Structure 1
Amino acid sequence: MPRPLVDVDASAASSFCLADEMPPLATGWHAHRRHQLLYAAQGALHLEVDRAQWLLPPQRAAWLRGGTPHRVRSNHPVRLCTVYLEPSLVPMPPQEECCVFLLPPLAREMLVYSARWGPERAPDDAVAESFFQTLAHLLAEWSSQGQRWRLPRARTPELEKAMAYTLAHLEGPLSFEGAARAAGLSGRTLARRFDAEAQTTWRRFLHDARMLRAMELLAQNGARVTQTAHDVGFESLAAFTHAFHAFSGERPRDFRQRVAHGTALPAPPLRPTRPKRAD
């Protein structure tokens, strides 16, 4: 059974883990005083901060800087293992408000082990203090390989509807006109919204969303590359392999094998950045 809601900022312990099995969830916008390491040992999370959003399958974790507003949702049950760290324990806090990275095997084991110390633990537990200090130091190394795979976040309800419609239909035929109708906008207006709010196009958003969804599917036990290609809207396996390699720097088969062993991924290829427009 899920435990009652806990006010994590009220805990007397400097650092601790909050582990729980949760039904499908959708939190409101909130922030924590402590730095937060968000991890789902089972299931996948959808994480949003002010200007970006991520999919977090069990092989990835999010390192949220203390005070960062965020919200989380999951369409399926999840097993959470979230660590909260006193800022004074962290020698190198995240430079950005959120950093998402692939968990090495040691990190996964430490996160699962940390569940023995919940928010009600004794503040003077020397073993717990030493453990979380070690974890805080290792986080600087692990998060240095943060992934740039993210999606922009909508800033108006209309664009949010268009993005939600797109994310809900990645597996089948999908048109820009359908996304515009879902948002209640003309195609021209929706194109302007993507450009102004997300600094991208709908087609690029769709492509990146399909690649991130493919990563999530390939991370599951028994995943098949051909089925994954079909599940994210590709009729041709060759086209999917080419697109996935261009996006991630690896072929889908290699990615699947690497994630299964929990090893680090190569940095994705850099894309040309768009120049900022003058106000």
Structure 2
Amino acid sequence: MEPHNTIDIDKLNKPYFVWFEENWTHDDVLHQHNKGQLVYVESGFQYITIEERIYLLPQNHAVWIPPNTIHKTNSHSERIKLMIMFAEVDQKKSFYREVNVFSVPPVLREMIKYAEKWSKLLDTRTDETLFLQALFNELPHFVEQSLKLHICLPRDKRLAKVIEYLHDHYREEFKINELSDIAMLSSRTLERIFKKETGLTLSKYQQMLKIIKSLELLSSDYMTISETAYEVGYKSVQAYTRSFQTVLQFRPSDFIKNIK
């Protein structure tokens, strides 16, 4: 994630760098950094594309992006408050080589907020280094219950219009013959290629889209669980809750409690 063009993160001669913004703006451009980075969403919601997977960061969630990992960001939130911490890490440890999206527990949340006082500090300070070294040493323990919520972008160009259609019409029940016409493939071929490219069936992919969109709505505080369920295309709150639990292993009400 490239905050702005005013600071070249890779040229900074310090092991850690903190960047906080009240109203974050960024370019939707693929890039990478020598350092790993922890991205924490204090308010709003953030979409991040990492190595052809789209991840969602709701409020009070974070993602660890390994060093030299190609990624880009985009957000539909009107205002977003982000804290980003860049860090030199031991890449021999498997944790630091993997993408992790997770709910931020209270202790880590307070540590991140405390680190705000070093935001955009270009000079190396001992107190900053020692504090952030402790934070990143403990980070693997904080993310043991990682939220594995992402969807894969297919590389096969024949699926591009199908993906676009599903994203634009996720509320509606799709008809396989209509998608086949869009892709100019037989139904059987479309389903086979789609599963191979995304790891999901067409129906499971649509389910993920519905749940991801619902997390976005629940994070906004503008809609109740019931209103969200109908907004993303479920015919009942019960059906939405079952689907939500199937994907995330916890209930919508648990998610709301966690982001408050």
TM over 0.5: yes
Are residues 1:111 and 2:109 paired?
Answer: no
Residue 179 of structure 1, CA deviation: 5.0
In 1: Cα distance, 2:42 partner to 2:148 partner: 22
Letter of the 2:19 partner, please give it: L
Residue 55 of structure 1, CA deviation: 0.9
CA displacement 1:210-258 (0-9 Å, x = unmatched): 122223322333541111101211012221122222222223223322x
In 2: Cα distance, 1:91 partner to 1:114 partner: 26
In 1: Cα distance, 2:44 partner to 2:224 partner: 18
- The corresponding residue for 2:89 is 87
In 2: Cα distance, 1:180 partner to 1:111 partner: 48
Letter of the 1:198 partner, please give it: T
- The corresponding residue for 2:35 is 34
- The corresponding residue for 2:51 is 50
Q: Structure 2 vs 1, CA of residues 167 and 105 (structure 1 numbering), >3 Å: closer, same or farther? A: farther
Asked if 2 retains the 8 angstrom alpha-carbon contact of 1:68 and 1:97, the reply is no
Q: Structure 2 vs 1, CA of residues 251 and 80 (structure 1 numbering), >3 Å: closer, same or farther? A: closer
In 2: Cα distance, 1:160 partner to 1:44 partner: 25
CA displacement 1:119-150 (0-9 Å, x = unmatched): 54312x11101111111122111122212222
Q: Structure 2 vs 1, CA of residues 45 and 254 (structure 1 numbering), >3 Å: closer, same or farther? A: closer
In 2: Cα distance, 1:253 partner to 1:120 partner: 39
Residue 176 of structure 1, CA deviation: 4.4
Asked if 1 retains the 8 angstrom alpha-carbon contact of 2:59 and 2:259, the reply is no
Residue 32 of structure 2 aligns to a residue whose secondary structure is: coil
- The corresponding residue for 1:100 is 101
Of 127-136 and 109-118, the range deviating more from structure 2: 109-118
- The corresponding residue for 1:168 is 168
Residue 148 of structure 2 aligns to a residue whose secondary structure is: coil
Asked if 2 retains the 8 angstrom alpha-carbon contact of 1:63 and 1:94, the reply is no
Asked if 1 retains the 8 angstrom alpha-carbon contact of 2:166 and 2:206, the reply is yes
Of 171-180 and 105-114, the range deviating more from structure 2: 171-180
Letter of the 1:99 partner, please give it: N
TM-score by length of 2: 0.85
Q: Structure 2 vs 1, CA of residues 103 and 10 (structure 1 numbering), >3 Å: closer, same or farther? A: same
Of 204-213 and 164-173, the range deviating more from structure 2: 164-173
Aligned residues: 255
In 2: Cα distance, 1:175 partner to 1:46 partner: 28
In 1: Cα distance, 2:96 partner to 2:184 partner: 37
Asked if 2 retains the 8 angstrom alpha-carbon contact of 1:244 and 1:250, the reply is yes
Q: Structure 2 vs 1, CA of residues 51 and 97 (structure 1 numbering), >3 Å: closer, same or farther? A: farther
Q: Structure 2 vs 1, CA of residues 59 and 174 (structure 1 numbering), >3 Å: closer, same or farther? A: farther
TM-score by length of 1: 0.80
- The corresponding residue for 1:252 is 252
Residue 7 of structure 2 aligns to a residue whose secondary structure is: coil
- The corresponding residue for 2:133 is 133
CA displacement 1:9-57 (0-9 Å, x = unmatched): 111221011222234x552221111111012222211112225221111
Structure 1 residue ranges without an equivalent (≥5): 262-279
Q: Structure 2 vs 1, CA of residues 7 and 168 (structure 1 numbering), >3 Å: closer, same or farther? A: farther
- The corresponding residue for 1:68 is 69
Q: Structure 2 vs 1, CA of residues 147 and 254 (structure 1 numbering), >3 Å: closer, same or farther? A: closer
